[in-house]
Amino acid sequence: MNDKLDANGTCVLVTGGAGFIGSHTVVCLLEQGKEVVIVDDLSNANEKALDRIAQIVGEEAAERITFVRADVNDRAALDAIFEEFDIDSVIHFAGYKAVGESVEKPIEYYSNNIGNTLTLVDAMRDHGCKKLIFSSSATVYGDPDALPLTEESPKKMCTNPYGWTKWMIEEILRSVAFADPEWDIVLLRYFNPIGAHPSGLIGEDPKGIPNNLLPYVSQVAVGRREAVHVFGNDYDTPDGTGVRDYIHVMDLAAGHVAALNWMSDKSGCEVFNLGTGTGTSVLQIINAFSEACGHEVPYVIEPRRPGDVSANYADCSKAAELLGWKAQYNVADMCRDSWNWQSHNPNGFEG
């Protein structure tokens, strides 16, 4: 992997590119022949992910990656990147993402997530790069009035500072696109990303106690934790547990590439849901994972958590129509690939 790269053709800056979704997206970009510059401070990622990306794509494609260890809030570092490379577009993943931690540290979350976006967009503007894909979230829909959720569904009150940062950044970027028609911005609202690269070389490796369901289930299955905590079994759902739209991280990564290719001659700000359109309950996930790993995954029922909604799933027909994108993997595939990653990497990138 080169420390420096003479960027020819399409060069994409990927902030947070060593993280879970970022690393899988970088693989897809390289497989599409793109040049990629990753900027990541590794606060919630592992540099070993970069070596694994190189293993997946092969030596020749790995020559098209440059890694810069820097905080996206560091304007001087961003200026240096834009001056050295002919950046064509930016995919912005970088940000704090633990819901519970955001409640405990609201100042840090607002400062980092909103601050780094403002710093990035200002640097992009000054260097004449005005194509941006933003990593947003279905959390902006809040407690839905009706399902499935479309891009026209109203944005609602969020239940935590993490969600509010996504909500606010969307509004900031809409304002940027409205003020300057040269901007081409896509907001991708993810539902619940799970799974891992089929090779088992990269996957989700959260630091500390996992905030999301699947990494917790994986760690229980591999023996790192005793049981999955299921929060609430009295929702108005088929089995009483919360229903979510789980999407394979490789489908999500492919969605970014599809959006990037679609943007080529557009302007303004557009929103797309990325999900499967199918709701799956917590117990269904645990059962599917038990099947994938070959043994029962123990769980305990806990009281509901404040702010959790009973059900949430997407209508992704807009992405299908405009981007030509549709999720290809089902829940069994997601659990199989998650287990393949976790079983071969029981302690994540550390072994």
Identify the H or E element spanning 177. Answer: helix 161-179
Residue pair 120/46 in contact by the 8 Å Cβ criterion = no
- Please give the full DSSP string across 172-215, using - where no structure is assigned: HHHHHHHH-TT-EEEEEEE-EEE---TTSSS----SSS-SSHHH
- The pTM of this model reads 0.96
pLDDT averaged over the chain? 95
| Separation in Å, CA 214 to CA 194, 211, 221, 286, 340 | 6, 9, 10, 9, 13
pLDDT for residue 3: 41
Reduced to 3 states, what is the DSSP secondary structure of residue 61? helix
The radius of gyration of the chain from alpha carbons, rounded to an integer in Å, stands at 19
Segments in the chain below pLDDT 70: 1-9
How much is the pLDDT for 1? 39
Amino acid 274: pLDDT: 98
Sign of CA dihedral 124, 126, 130, 134: positive
Those residues whose C-beta lies under 8 Å from the C-beta of residue 185, and which sit 6 or more positions away, are 131, 132, 133, 134, 173, 174, 176, 177, 268, 269, 270
pLDDT for 4: 40
- Residue 195 burial class via C-beta count within 10 angstroms: exposed 0-12, middle 13-18, buried 19 and up: buried
190 catalytic residue (yes or no): no
The 3-state DSSP composition of the chain as helix, strand, coil percent (nearest 5) reads: 40, 20, 40
CA-nearest of 183, 88, 102, 105 to 137 is 102
Q: How many CA atoms lie within 13 A of 266 on its CB side?
A: 19
Strand pairing of 89-92 and 131-137? parallel
Q: Distance of CA 114 to CAs 1, 7, 43, 107, Å?
A: 31, 29, 17, 11
pLDDT of residue 9: 54
Residue 46, SS3 per DSSP: coil
Tokens read off for 288: 């599917």
Q: How far apart are CA 142 and CA 158, in angstroms?
A: 5
Catalytic residue among 96, 109, 141, 162: 162
